[in-house]
Amino acid sequence: MSADPGRGAPVVRDVPHLPAGWSSATPVDADVEDLVRLLRRHEREARGFPGADSENVAAEVTGRGMRTHTHEIVRDDHGRARAWVSCHDRAIERVLVGVTVDPDLDDAVADQVARHCFGVAEQFSTAIARERRAPRSHMDSGAFAGDERQGRWLSEAGFELVRDWWQMSRPVAEHEQSSLPAPREGVQVRRVRRDDAVGMPDEDDLRDVHRMLEVSFADHFNSYRETFEEFVGRLREDPGHRWDHWWLATVDGEPAGALVATTITGRVDDDGAPQRDSSYVEYIGVDSNARGRGVAKALLHTVIADAAARGRNKVGLEVDADSPTGADGLYTSMGWQTAYTTQSWHKELALRADPSAG
């Protein structure tokens, strides 16, 4: 038995064994850089280029995200980090599962390690559901399209491939901070209001943003309800979170849409060259009653102009490859192009009776 400091509840590990001499533990501050290097090796192999950085990994493992994440680091018999399991308690009955196995391992060893990691992920997901007194857990994992080994492990662990997502990027030019078209008549976009004394956002505005996103995604794939507290708390855990990256759109004075973006901090590439910061659209949604008024385009123009004013060189976003709204057409028409594709893999986990309960 081992205790996870991120959630405080003990988890019994009844999972496939690791190779002889290997070990696993809950990661601490001293493990962060090893996890970053492991993740970057995986990204380079599976996607073609790395993107992980210390700030985001530290936030998830030992920082602001620690409250809602459970982790395991796996080391080989020489002490080198070879795998990482991450489970994010996203909302009731929903866990985001990440399993990263070192691409440098040969298939026989990697397969054994992957079986162990997905077993641990299931144990973590079960523990999270029990803590929330939920009867089931929806496990949501992912892979880069074309990563056959990860796909095979997911399939063997009982996950089903359910969706592709286009990861899109658009360059930003300096002149766009003032040259983009104004919103249509009746449409206004503004940042969420903030208290000048303490700098905290207006709660009514935040609730309007949450409501706009909830109603706009109600009929979308994999939609689920997230409480206001869960929504705000989760986004604040992101190191790129900035209150001045939240916008609310109105039509004739009534809330009609919202956009929440984050800052992607410029990283140093493999050649040691510094990269510029960029913006990323975490969420954009428009109330169905306001569609056709140019609200989405006005919100996107706003985040582009904001990025240009900050000296950033691109804005990224994700879009469902099978979006029922045809959002990809709008993004393409505004200059976004697909950089790479990711996949969603799901597994439904029904909980058995807890043998430790009464």
Where are the domains positioned within the chain? 2-158, 167-341
CB 42 within 8 A of CB 100: yes
- 202: nearest Cα among 257, 254, 244: 244
CA distances to 69, 157, 343 from 122, in Å: 14, 9, 19
Query: At the topology level of CATH, where does 2-158 sit?
Result: Aminopeptidase (3.40.630)
pLDDT (0 to 100) of residue 223: 63
CATH no. for 167-341: 3.40.630.30
Q: Which amino acid is at 200?
A: M
Query: Count of CB atoms within 10 A of residue 92's CB?
Result: 17
**C-alpha span between 250 and 289 (Å, rounded):** 12
* Top-ranked range on mean pLDDT: pick from 47-51, 214-218, 221-225: 47-51
Decide whether 2-158 matches 167-341 in CATH topology: yes
Check whether 86 has a pLDDT greater than 60: yes
pLDDT (0 to 100) of residue 268: 53
Backbone angles phi, psi at 212, to 5 degrees: -60, -40
Q: Residue 348: beta bridge partners?
A: 138
Q: Which residues, 6 or more positions from 334, have their beta carbon under 8 angstroms from its beta carbon?
A: 170, 297, 300
- Confidence band, pLDDT 50/70/90 cuts, at residue 8: very low
- 124-156 residue pLDDT tens: 999 999 998 989 899 999 999 999 999 999 999
- 239-280 residue pLDDT tens: 889 999 999 999 999 999 999 999 998 765 555 556 789 999
pLDDT (0 to 100) of residue 3: 36
Lowest mean pLDDT, pick from 173-177, 200-204, 280-284, 297-301: 200-204
Please state the length of the chain: 358
- Confidence band, pLDDT 50/70/90 cuts, at residue 11: very low
Q: ∠ CA(160), CA(161), CA(164), 5° rounding?
A: 160
**C-alpha span between 358 and 354 (Å, rounded):** 9
- 277-327 residue pLDDT tens: 999 999 999 998 898 999 999 999 999 999 999 999 999 999 998 876 678
Check whether 173 has a pLDDT greater than 70: yes
**C-alpha span between 84 and 209 (Å, rounded):** 34
- 125: nearest Cα among 235, 238, 15: 15
DSSP for 64-116 reads GGGGGEEEEEEE-TTS-EEEEEEEEEEETTEEEEEEEE-TTS-HHHHHHHHHH
